[in-house]
């Protein structure tokens, strides 16, 4: 039996009751610029009657995307500046990004690669993949490859296994990390065959991790939880990445619920990203001061295992840095506890 189709056009969204028909022309204008895709799994989580629905806000296009703020950049984190060969981004000495494809199961409206994702023709050819792997193999300082995209778990399991086998043949690699939205956005794709393909090849000193992008506790549906369990039961360590988004998760109660749910599902919270300066995304960005206040509130509510690191990816490709709250006052040798009381030390 065929799977339900992903919604890719404004008319599809209207027919599914996710947008009002009066918004068709607005959504069509956005779709001409930025790719649209909403899987049935994600559509089932939405509340079309709620104009502020945090799931719909992440995935349904809006006219606000066509407004580019002066500070926004076409390449906000320097992907193109730091790409020595097609498919490779090398911003840090010890690790590289490998982007074998630029398609995703869904297209998030805040994506920092939003002008590039959705291009099926951008999938690396066999020759381009060979050149990318040769680049990694020729640089012994590279210890880690982050396989991203697009979404690398859109690749069929045999291609994932083949890619891992090729990476395992590079002796100086210690870690391969896959970044994916698939377990949340298209959980049925996380089949036993895909989980098996992600198991580390027969090389004791090479680890394989998966970082899952989750922004709201409602995204951890029963099918998503089952997909995460298939990966965890296969012995694959799981991390989470979350983007701090206005109107989605910019309340401490939502972030607390999300981080607790991730830990329950054997996913270690990793990064809480401040949104990048991608064009047309200003309506998603809280201030860094608001983010710091949220992180300070989380510190008193959650154990250390459930605390993500709040990070800013410096525009232009200078790298990620923590921007969380400060607790140590160097000038006065004072330390602030989670409740806000200052103590001498």
Which residue in the block uniquely carries the two structure tokens 């996380």?
A: 190
Catalytic-residue membership of 114: no
Catalytic residue chosen out of the listed positions 189, 276, 285, 296: 276
Q: Angle, nearest 10°, between helix axes 252-264 and 288-299?
A: 60
Catalytic residue chosen out of the listed positions 23, 57, 91, 296: 91
Catalytic-residue membership of 320: yes
Catalytic-residue membership of 91: yes
Catalytic residue chosen out of the listed positions 57, 95, 109, 161: 95
Task: Give 257's contacts (C-beta < 8 A, 6+ positions apart).
Answer: 217
Catalytic-residue membership of 202: no
Task: Give 289's contacts (C-beta < 8 A, 6+ positions apart).
Answer: none
Catalytic residue chosen out of the listed positions 9, 92, 143, 159: 92
Catalytic residue chosen out of the listed positions 12, 108, 135, 189: 108
Task: Give 211's contacts (C-beta < 8 A, 6+ positions apart).
Answer: 177, 178, 179, 180, 238, 239, 240, 241, 270
Catalytic residue chosen out of the listed positions 12, 53, 186, 313: 313
- 150 cis-preceded (ω within 30 degrees of 0): yes
CA 139 distance to own-chain centroid: 27
Catalytic-residue membership of 95: yes
Extract the tokens encoding 138.
Answer: 């020729």
Catalytic-residue membership of 205: no
3-class DSSP state for residue 270? strand
The separation between the first and the last C-alpha atoms of the chain, rounded to the nearest angstrom, is 66
Extract the tokens encoding 100.
Answer: 């074998």
Catalytic-residue membership of 108: yes
Q: Which of 144, 138, 137 is nearest to 208 (CA)?
A: 144
Catalytic residue chosen out of the listed positions 34, 104, 114, 189: 104
Catalytic-residue membership of 313: yes
Catalytic-residue membership of 92: yes
Catalytic residue chosen out of the listed positions 23, 109, 113, 218: 113
Catalytic residue chosen out of the listed positions 53, 57, 109, 111: 111
Q: Report residue 235: phi and psi, to 5°.
A: 85, 20
Sign of CA dihedral 21, 25, 26, 28: positive
Strands 175-180 and 207-213: parallel
**Active-site residue list:** 91-92, 95, 104, 108, 111, 113, 276, 313, 320
């Amino acid at each position: 039996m065929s799977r339900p189709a992903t919604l890719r056009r404004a008319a599809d969204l209207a027919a599914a009751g996710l947008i009002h028909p009066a918004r068709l022309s607005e959504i069509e204008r956005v779709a001409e610029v930025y790719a649209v895709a909403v899987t049935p799994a994600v559509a089932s989580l939405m509340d079309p009657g709620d104009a502020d629905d945090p799931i719909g806000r992440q995935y349904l296009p809006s006219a606000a995307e066509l407004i580019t703020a002066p500070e926004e950049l076409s390449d906000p984190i320097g992907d193109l500046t730091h790409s020595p060969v097609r498919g490779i981004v090398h911003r840090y000495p010890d690790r590289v990004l490998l982007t074998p494809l630029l398609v995703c199961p869904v297209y998030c409206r805040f994506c920092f690669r939003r002008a590039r994702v959705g291009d099926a023709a951008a999938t690396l050819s066999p020759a381009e993949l060979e050149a990318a792997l040769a680049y990694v193999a020729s640089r012994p300082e590279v210890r880690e490859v982050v396989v991203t995209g697009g979404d690398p778990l859109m690749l069929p399991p045999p291609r994932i296994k083949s890619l891992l086998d090729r990476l395992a043949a590079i002796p100086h690699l210690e870690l391969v990390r896959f970044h994916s939205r698939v377990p949340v956005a298209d959980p049925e794709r996380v089949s036993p065959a895909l989980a098996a393909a992600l198991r580390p090849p027969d090389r004791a000193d090479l680890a394989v991790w998966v970082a899952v992008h989750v922004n709201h506790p409602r995204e951890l549906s029963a099918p998503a939880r089952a997909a995460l369990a298939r990966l965890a039961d296969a012995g694959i360590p799981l991390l989470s990445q979350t983007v701090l988004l206005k109107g989605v998760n910019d309340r401490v109660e939502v972030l607390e619920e999300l981080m607790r749910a991730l830990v329950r599902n054997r996913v270690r919270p990793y990064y809480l990203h401040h949104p990048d300066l991608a064009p047309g995304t200003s309506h998603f960005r809280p201030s860094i001061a608001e983010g710091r206040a949220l992180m300070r509130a989380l510190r008193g509510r959650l154990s250390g295992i459930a605390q993500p690191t709040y990070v800013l990816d410096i525009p232009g490709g200078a790298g990620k840095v923590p921007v969380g709250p400060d607790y140590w006052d160097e000038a006065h040798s004072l330390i602030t506890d989670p409740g806000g009381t200052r103590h001498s030390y």
